[in-house]
Amino acid sequence: VDANSAYALTDVRVFEGLDELGLDYIEQPLAHDDLVDHAELQAMLRTPVCLDESVHSAADARKGLALGSGRVINVKVGRVRGLLESRKVHDVAQAFGAPVWCGGMLELGIGRALNLHMSSLENFSLPGDTASATRYWGGNDVIHQRLDATNGVQSMPQDGPGLGVTLRTEQIERTLIRSTKF
């Protein structure tokens, strides 16, 4: 359940009801900048709290986990400013014994491929938001590959160097506003 900061600590009945459902976690139930209330809520619940918008860096992950503000972290590569910081968030969570999962931010195929590669790290142990970008963008994606799961299994793209995807340059050029060649 992703609450998107919709609740306050005073919504005790809501949290008691959610706690009875056997959920894997309750994602970002309180304000993103209130790790203290998240810690108080986590102490009241059996269900793990998942920190999402509260985590913009490995330092944020460390603070949240050290305070007991949550027991799961949603790593969004775009939100934490890239691959290196995502890896650091993963490593901090792993050191605390907190599982992570890869959230998405409506990325095009390049971003989805990056999410898939990031999700291959060992502490990404919960299902992530790594569905094909065509789910959101239809035929307007910028890669040739569809990154769909088959029978619940999603394979790593391996059709080229780097992230393993090939670009649809015609689609990029069609939507390009301006370019500069160096």
Q: What CATH number does residue 136 fall under?
A: 3.20.20.120
Q: Does the residue 180 lie in any domain?
A: no
Residue 141 belongs to some domain of the structure: yes
- Give the C-alpha separation, 91 to 36, whole Å: 23
The amino acid that residue 95 corresponds to is A
**Does 6 map to a domain?**
no
This prediction has a pTM of: 0.92
Q: What is the residue range of 20's domain?
A: 12-175
So what's the pLDDT on residue 100? 99
DSSP SS3 for 110: helix
27 in any annotated domain: yes
| pLDDT value for 50 | 99
Amino acid at 118: M
Question: What pLDDT is recorded for position 160?
Answer: 81
8 A C-beta contact, residue 14 and residue 39: no
Q: Which residues of the chain have pLDDT under 70?
A: none
pLDDT at residue number 134: 85
Classify residue 182: in a domain, yes or no.
no
State the pLDDT at residue 99: 99
Cβ atoms of 110 and 142 within 8 Å: the answer is yes
* Residue 66 domain-assigned (yes or no): yes
Domain count, the chain: 1
C-alpha distances (whole Å) from 152 to each of 76, 86, 133, 155, 163 are 22, 25, 17, 10, 21
Q: Is residue 154 part of a domain?
A: yes
Q: What is the pLDDT at residue 129?
A: 87
CA 123 → CA 42, 62, 97, 126, 146, distances in Å? 21, 15, 9, 8, 25
Please report whether residue 151 resides in a domain.
yes
Helix residue ranges, H only, 28-168: 35-44, 58-67, 83-96, 109-118, 134-137
